[in-house]
Copies of this chain bind each other. A is one copy, B any other.
Amino acid sequence: MNKILVFGHQNPDTDAITSAISYTYLLNQQGIEAEAVALGKVNEETAYALKEFGQDAPRVIESIGSQTDTVALVDHNESQQSVSDLAEVQVHSVVDHHKIGDFTSASPLTFIAKPYGCSQTIIFELFQEAGIEIPKEIAGLMLSAIISDTLLFKSPTTTEMDKKVGLALAEIAGVDVEKYGLALLKSGTNVDAKSASEIADGDAKSFEMAGKPVRIGQINVVDVNDVLKRKEEVIAAMKELITANEYAAFLLVVTNILTSDSEGLLVGSDDFVQHVEQAYGGQVIDNQINLPGVVSRKKQVVPPLQSTF
């Protein structure tokens, strides 16, 4: 076995990046050679967290190629969200908190999925089971991911374990959860600096529905009008992304992290619009649908939509 390359999903968010870092640290401490890499550049929120705890962003790769023959996946398990040549390499382990997708293996391996709000909560348990201490800067990154994924424990994906682990990590990292958490979340909401395409696709993932890839993006804001005032431009960018990547449709969820409500912007066929209306029980008017109380793509956006197909 060569060095294990450890990475999270494409369009990496704070959990994808920092889970690669913390899981790599854990493997290294267990005497396993591993390196954290990323399937894309870090976003502003992640950059904020990395800077806060004095860590570098992992180098970006697109494929494994001849770099190694063994990888570990964190914060994802579906091939669509992974490295392009995943099928060519061996998977050492998977640590994830998403639904189980098309992942298969030729041999037994370590595959730990739990229905927590964040992958780092599982990784915290792995540290505990292995009896390995978490350094302050790693704890800070792990906490950042939990804050990011649970929107400071407000998302319905948040479990008791996420809260418990988050508080334990804050203690190790020596930060005030509320104060640091709000600063972290706000750091990722600078919409004005983003292009329309970055707004739509920055955190987007593809989900197979009726055999076709539906693109679902999400952007956190402190005022939804920061996005809605650029609606025409964003819709145009979504159309271009659909054409360029042959998506069946595109749904962008604009989430207000202060009120925990969202607006959905969408582009797709009449049939797709009907699926969206059925899934969320509202009306699509002018490519837009009101999504009150919706903050979690994983729990409140994807499953209802998928179940209409």
| Residues of A that sit less than 8 Å from B by CB | 97-116, 125, 129, 298-299, 303, 306-307
Contact = CB atoms under 8 A, between A and B. Distances in A.
Contact of A129 (B111, B115, B125, B303): B125
Given A125-B129, A129-B125, A109 B105 contact: no
Given A109-B115, A115-B109, A102 B99 contact: no
Contact of A111 (B102, B105, B112): B112
B112 A105 contact: no
A90 to B, nearest CB: 12
**Most B Cβ at <10 Å: residue of A98, A108, A116:** A108
Contact of A107 (B99, B104, B111, B129): B99
A113 B111 contact: yes
Given A100-B104, A129-B129, 16 more contacts: A97-B108, A98-B108, A99-B105, A99-B108, A100-B103, A100-B105, A100-B109, A100-B111, A106-B306, A106-B307, A107-B299, A108-B113, A111-B111, A111-B112, A111-B114, A112-B112
Contacts of A129: 125, 129
Given A100-B103, A103-B100, A115 B108 contact: yes
Contacts of A306: 106
Contacts of A113: 108-112
A160 to B, nearest CB: 13
The 10 A-B residue pairs with the shortest CB-CB distance, nearest first, are A108-B115, A111-B113, A100-B105, A99-B105, A110-B114, A100-B104, A99-B108, A99-B107, A109-B115, A107-B303
Contacts of A101: 104
**Most B Cβ at <10 Å: residue of A101, A109, A116:** A109
A169 B112 CA distance: 24
A115 to B, nearest CB: 4
Contacts of A112: 111-113
Contacts of A99: 104-109
Contacts of A107: 99, 115, 299, 303
Nearest to A157: B108
Nearest to A103: B100
